[in-house]
Structure 1
């Protein structure tokens, strides 16, 4: 029996990782320089605060260009963990979920007119857990498909309001495009 499953976003493009490393390296260097030059008398305290503020901004930009999301599934213990990962650091808590029903993909309109696609795991009767948010339907579908296969449950395409369709997973794999059940 499968023990642990990891569904992860694709690795960030090289250019984003390079930018992230530049921001994070700059933050570390500025922080070290600020601590080295720290003179906490009243005249320099404002400069110290501004430099620490810049370190925080640089770190934030570095994190924004480097994090990715993963979902860990422990089938033996019926536990899930959605994490935000920055290098080896993983932030997220384990949740116990049983009685899986299905995985759904639907979209939410954004204020700028774009759509964001959400992948949810439905369990018990009407409870759900948001696994992923993606701007691309194909990426959201792939993640939803993988999770539904691991859990051996159905996949629902709810991207068209009031026209929900169950995905025929076997036919979809064979055809190489999304096929819906009748």
Structure 2
């Protein structure tokens, strides 16, 4: 398997209606600020200034809330990672060194409604971990965990059955993946 320069694990895409709503909020925010700055010299009372600012900030926050994504970026070669907060092309986050990555785990997490979600965690420095990915589909979560463990050259733990954790035989999985892709 070829090593990737960077692995990006991100929230899924936002629904179209949320992206359109965010665009409307950003446009309205820009209009409110344009109106404020063009009318600012003529406005005498402080309450009107405050109202313009509150409306602009509210629209800006609503737009960000409708279109942001959270993610994780990992550089396998240098063993660095960063949690990201993304709004459009703006990606915020700081790279941190993974001192000693130990293994990746995939486990089942119960939800309040009785369903389950599968989480992928990266364990490092004996007992620390990063929650990297969640998905209601076991296969999707497992494949993300498998790929990450391959890229970092560490073990994979299948902890999806409570109290029956198993280390995954990655050689067997590689063979199965190669057979299905052929």
TM-score with structure 2 length normalisation? Answer: 0.75
Gaps of at least 5 residues in structure 2 are: none
Q: Displaced runs of 4+ in structure 1, greater than 4 A?
A: 107-117
1:118 positional shift: 3.4
Alpha-carbon shift at residue 53 of structure 1 (Å)? 1.7
Q: How does 1:138-153 map to 2 (within 5 A)?
A: 138=138, 139-153=140-154
Greater helix fraction, Structure 1 or Structure 2: 2
Match runs of 1:132-171 below 5 Å: 132=133, 134=134, 136-138=136-138, 139-168=140-169, 169-170=173-174
How large is the RMSD of aligned CA atoms in angstroms?
2.9
Residue 173 in structure 1 maps to residue 177 in structure 2: yes
Shift of 1:50: 2.5
Pairwise CA distance, 1:117: 4.4
Change (3 A) 1:16 1:101: same
Q: 1:170 to 1:47 in 2, by over 3 A?
A: same
**Does 2:21 correspond to 1:19?**
yes
Structure-to-structure mapping, 1:26-175, within 5 angstroms: 26-38=28-40, 39=42, 41=44, 44-109=45-110, 117-132=118-133, 134=134, 136-138=136-138, 139-168=140-169, 169-170=173-174, 173=177
| Count of residue correspondences | 173
TM-score norm. by structure 1 comes to: 0.75
CA distance in 1, matches of 2:51, 2:108: 41
